[in-house]
Amino acid sequence: MANLVIGVTGLLISLFGLIQVQKSILIEQRTRLYLYGFFTVLMLYVSFNLMGQLSLGRSGPAWRVTTMVSLFFESALSAALIPLLTSFLLYSCGEDASGRNPAILINRCLTGIYIGLLVYTQFSKTIYYFDGLNGYHRGPWYPVLLIPPVLMMLVNLHLLRTHRSRLSSRRRTAFAIYILVPAASMVIQMLFYGIYVIVLGSSIAVAAMLTYILNDQTELFYRQEAEIARLKNEILLSQIQPHFVINTLGAIAHLCQNSPEARQAIQTFSRYIRGNIEALTTDAVISFEQELEHTRQYLSLEKLRFGDSLQVEWSLECTGFSIPTLTLQPLVENAVRYGVRKKPDGRGTVRIMTRETVRGYEIRVEDDGPGFDPEAEPEDGRSHIGLANVQERLRSICGGSLEIQSEPGRGTVAAILLPGQGGRGEKP
């Protein structure tokens, strides 16, 4: 009876999860597809478990075949949840989630080995078998069957540990639960056979993942809405009648005939304002050269303020690719405001680098400032929200990601990772 209750509970969880995924308007499309996959596989897995429960112990060839088929697919589907998690974890970290990724290749091979063992045991009594009364028994090699799933879980645990800085705290918790709860259930199931602990653990893990991801997406949505509203208010306050401001700056620049530096500064500022205004009207990608020019304008204005105390180094190996608007400039601004200018003497260096990788393009913004703890909430509560907005824009517009590496006293590195866009980058 307990196993029947566990199976029905798992089935209800999977159905409820599918409904929630369908109804929620806050789940990003690719994440939605992954969640559909998890709950669909879980529903099939639990359905075969229930079918096996109903047929186990019933005599007759038909019942025996039903039990064997049910257990085969139940076992195969439980293992299929693990490589699906691998792909989702890599996607959430901004990594390549295609079949070329080594972690996915390893887990697919282990899944193939696991399926092979399941096929083998249909013709042998070494792993598990059914007696003449359609009763289930474990063979002496039964622990061998658990080796591939355990290795797959270890691969996922390694991915979670190495890429944890790219995930929100809620997503880290969701993935940790999804890995550790089924793993613990597997150990309990192996030691104390009788109750379908793995079915219960898998159902709880998938339900917990949905809960944490929904909370994460909801919080991110409202944080972005608040940040967008704040930015719009600031723009309205600081750039009232922007075309009037731009035209006025042009007129002032015309009067600065005897001061080329002042004329150049006003013209640069005018172009910078125009770039900000144009960026607010589009969510499409632009050429990296355009974003780079906007960033250069910002830095030239900051150099006017801070002079030689602000040094800028460039190492642009490639520029022939596209990027969402206002993604590089905010990172450079953070490097100046929270990096260089936070040093005791206010002096420091910002480095901007680009390179092409096997997976696409990488843009790095480094500063030699005081650094910070990425896990801690900033004092003004705003800089991390800005970074979250850049990260979300990269992910939603072009499938890119943002990785922040920083330690107190060691400076900060912000790395934009963009997927390949066809063709190699051009040298500037």
Helix (H) or strand (E) holding 315: strand 310-316
Q: 369 vs 346, 387, 410, CA distance in Å? A: 9, 17, 7
Helix (H) or strand (E) holding 47: helix 29-55
DSSP 8-state class, residue 194: T
Predicted local distance difference test score (pLDDT) of residue 275: 67
Rounded-to-integer distance, Cα 14 and Cα 261, Å:
67
Predicted local distance difference test score (pLDDT) of residue 132: 81
DSSP codes joined into one string, 236-294: HHHSSSHHHHHHHHHHHHHH-TT-HHHHHHHHHHHHHHHHHHHHTT--SEEEHHHHHHH
> What dotted CATH number matches 2-220?
1.20.1070
| Nearest Cα to Cα of residue 39 among 50, 47, 28 | 47
Of the candidate CATH numbers 1.10.10.60, 3.30.565.10, 3.10.110.10, 2.70.98.90, the domain formed by 306-428 belongs to 3.30.565.10
Predicted local distance difference test score (pLDDT) of residue 200: 76
pLDDT above 70 (res 255): no
**For residue 377, what pLDDT band results from cuts at 50, 70 and 90?**
low
Is pLDDT larger for residue 230 or for residue 287? 287
Domain-by-domain residue ranges, the chain? 2-220, 306-428
| Nearest Cα to Cα of residue 74 among 39, 46, 37, 107 | 46
pLDDT above 90 (res 416): yes
Predicted local distance difference test score (pLDDT) of residue 321: 92
Query: How do residues 132-150 score in pLDDT, each as one tens digit?
Result: 888 888 888 988 988 998 8
Predicted local distance difference test score (pLDDT) of residue 263: 67
pLDDT above 80 (res 276): no
Rounded-to-integer distance, Cα 377 and Cα 13, Å:
35
**For residue 6, what pLDDT band results from cuts at 50, 70 and 90?**
confident
Name, of 68-77, 299-308, 361-370, the range with top average pLDDT: 361-370
Let me know how many helices (H) and strands (E) the chain has, helices first: 12, 9
Predicted local distance difference test score (pLDDT) of residue 426: 38
Query: How do residues 109-131 score in pLDDT, each as one tens digit?
Result: 999 999 999 999 888 888 888 88
pLDDT above 70 (res 94): yes
Predicted local distance difference test score (pLDDT) of residue 425: 37
Of 1-15, 75-89, 252-266, minimum mean pLDDT range: 252-266
Where residue 411 falls (left for φ over 0; alpha for ψ -120 to 50; beta otherwise) is: left
**For residue 34, what pLDDT band results from cuts at 50, 70 and 90?**
confident
Q: What average pLDDT does the segment 193-207 reach?
A: 77
Predicted local distance difference test score (pLDDT) of residue 225: 72
Q: What average pLDDT does the segment 6-17 reach?
A: 83
Of 217-221, 257-261, 352-356, minimum mean pLDDT range: 257-261
Q: 361 vs 327, 330, 402, CA distance in Å? A: 14, 18, 12
Of 188-197, 236-245, 414-423, minimum mean pLDDT range: 236-245
The proportion of the chain whose per-residue pLDDT surpasses 70, expressed as a percent, equals 82
Name, of 33-47, 261-275, 282-296, the range with top average pLDDT: 33-47
DSSP 8-state class, residue 337: I
3-class DSSP assignment, residue 19: helix
Name, of 12-26, 259-273, 309-323, 377-391, the range with top average pLDDT: 309-323
Name, of 160-164, 172-176, 347-351, the range with top average pLDDT: 347-351
pLDDT above 90 (res 224): no
